[in-house]
Structure 1
C-alpha cells in the first residue's frame, strides 16, 4: 500500500522523535486510525468496477462500503470529547468526500445515459491508487505531530516545517464540493426498482418532480432531517420512516402537489404542512398537522394537537399504523380524529372529512410487506395493492 503524504500539523511540538517514543496523544491516535480507515474505504471503492454484478455481488460490496463510511462518521462524532470542533469539521468534510467518491463511482458503473457528469476528485494527499482514480483528501488536523511516515532528523524536520508553513493554507484546505443533486441521481435509470438516496451530504431532505418512482430513504438520511420537503410527485411511493425514527425526526415538513401516491412521511417534531394532495395516502406523525386544498386523500396520523383542514373535500382520517408509531410515543395522546375544518363554521359535523372505517384501513401486512417492495415489484404494483390505482 502506498504511503500517504505527511500532512502539516497546526501546532509545533518542542520535541524531536528521537529516543523513546512518547505516549501517543488521543488526537494523533484518532488521526492515524481515521487515515487508515479512509484509505481502506478508498481502495474498496476503487475495486468496485472489478466486482461482477451477477448475484448482487457488486451491490453487496457497495452496501459494505456504505456501512464502513457510516461507521467512520459515527467514530468522528464519538471523538468530540477530545478532538477540537474545527478538526471535527475537517474530518466530517473528509467523510463527505468519501461518500461523494462512492456516489460518483456507482454512477459511473450504472447503465449509461445520454448525459454523463464525471467530476474529477481532487487529490490533496498525493497518494494515487492503482488505476486512474485518486484518493480523496484527508484533513490537516491540529495537535497531530509531523513525522507520521517515520522519524525525521531534527534539522530536516525544521527545514520541512519552514517550507510547509508557507504552504499551510493550501495543504490544509479541503476542496469545495458542489451540493449534490439527489433528485437528478434518483431520476437516472437504474437496475433496482427502488431508489435509496443517502442524503448523507445534505442538511435537509428535498424530493421533487418525479413520476412513478419507489423511493425509500435509508438510515444515512438521518443527518439531513433539519427539514423535509416533498413536491411535485405523481404515481410515487415514498417511505421516509427509517431515518426520521427516534431522535432524528424532521424539524418541519412540507408536502405539496402530490397525486396518486403513497407517502410515508415519518416523524416530525414540529408542524407538517400538507397542500394540494389528491387521490393519495399519507402517513405522518407530527406535533401539528395542517392540511390545505386536498381532495380524496386518506390520512393515517399521530398528531399531538387537533389536525386542521382548509379547502379540502373527501379526506378521511385513521390512526397511524403501529409499525410507524415509534418507541416512546403514547398512542393515547393521538388526536387524529379531532379534526378542525376552518372553512366549516356550522355546529354540525363538516361534510369535508370523516373517519376512515376500520374495515377499509390497510392491514399491518400492507405496511410491513407491500410498501418496501421486492424483486420484480414495481411502483404501480405497490400502488395497486394499497388501492390507489382504483381511487
Structure 2
C-alpha cells in the first residue's frame, strides 16, 4: 500500500511538473506572439507616418510650386514696377520651397526626392527666364568713346564676362536697367594657376559662379546665397557658409570646403570635400569622392554662419545619397570618408 501511495504521489508530482512546464511554454509562446504583433504594429505605424509625411510634402510642395508658376505667368504685360515686385516675391518663395525640400529629405524616398528636385530646377529655370524677359540686360550700343573710357570699362581679368557691369562706374556683378541695379552672379572664370579672393562685401547674399578654373586657389570670405562650381581641375576652393545650395559639376583632382544647406555633385572624380551640410549630400555620376567635416576657418566665420541661417550644430557631412547606387544596406563605392590621419588641417600658407 505504501509503495502504491508513493507511486501515486510521484506520478502526481510528475503531472504537476509537466503541467507547469507546459503552462510556461504556452506563456512564452503567447508572449512571443504579443511582441511580434507589437513589432508589426509599430512597423506599420511607422510606415503610415512616413507615407503621411510624404503625402503632405507632395501636396504642399506642388501647391506652392503651382502658385509660384502662376505668379510668374502674371508678369508678361504688367508694369515694370509690378513685375519687379512679383519677381522678388517669386525668388523669395522659391528659396523657401528649396528650404522645405532640404528639411524633408530625411523621410522622402529616392524617387520622391528626385522628382521634387527636378521640379524645383524647372521652376528656378522658369524664374530666370521670366526675369530675363521682363528685365533684360542693357543692350550694347555703339557710341563715341575716348580711349580712357574704353580702358575704364574693360572687364577685370578673371571675372566672368557676362557678370561684368555694362557701365564703368558700377561694381562687377550688376547691370543697369532703366537706372536700377539688378543683382547678377559674380565670380571667376577661365583662370590658371592664380590665387583668387572674394571679400564679404563682394559675395554676401549673392550667387557665386566659378567656372573653367585650373590649378587655382580660391578663397570666398563671406556668405553667398548659392555657389556653382563648373569645370574645376586641380583647384583648392574654400568658401564661407552658403545659405542655400552648392552645385558642383565636372570637378576633378580638387579640394573643396564649404558649409551649406544642400550639396548636389555631378560628374566629379578624385575630389575631397570638407563639408558642413544641414540636409543629406547628393552625388550622381561621381567616383573617388572623399568626405570629411568642414574645418577651414577665418576671422568672420561665426558672423557669416549667423548671416547664412545655417544650423551650426547640425552637420550631416557623412550622410550621402548616391543616385547611381541604390543597393540598400551596401555602401556606395563612389564615395568614402577621409581617414582622420589623412585629413587636411592646415589651409593657408
Relative to the length of structure 2, the TM-score reads 0.47
Please say which structure displays the higher CA radius of gyration.
2
Bigger proportion of residues as helix: 2
> So what's the TM-score if we normalise by structure 1?
0.42
Q: Which has the higher strand share?
A: 2
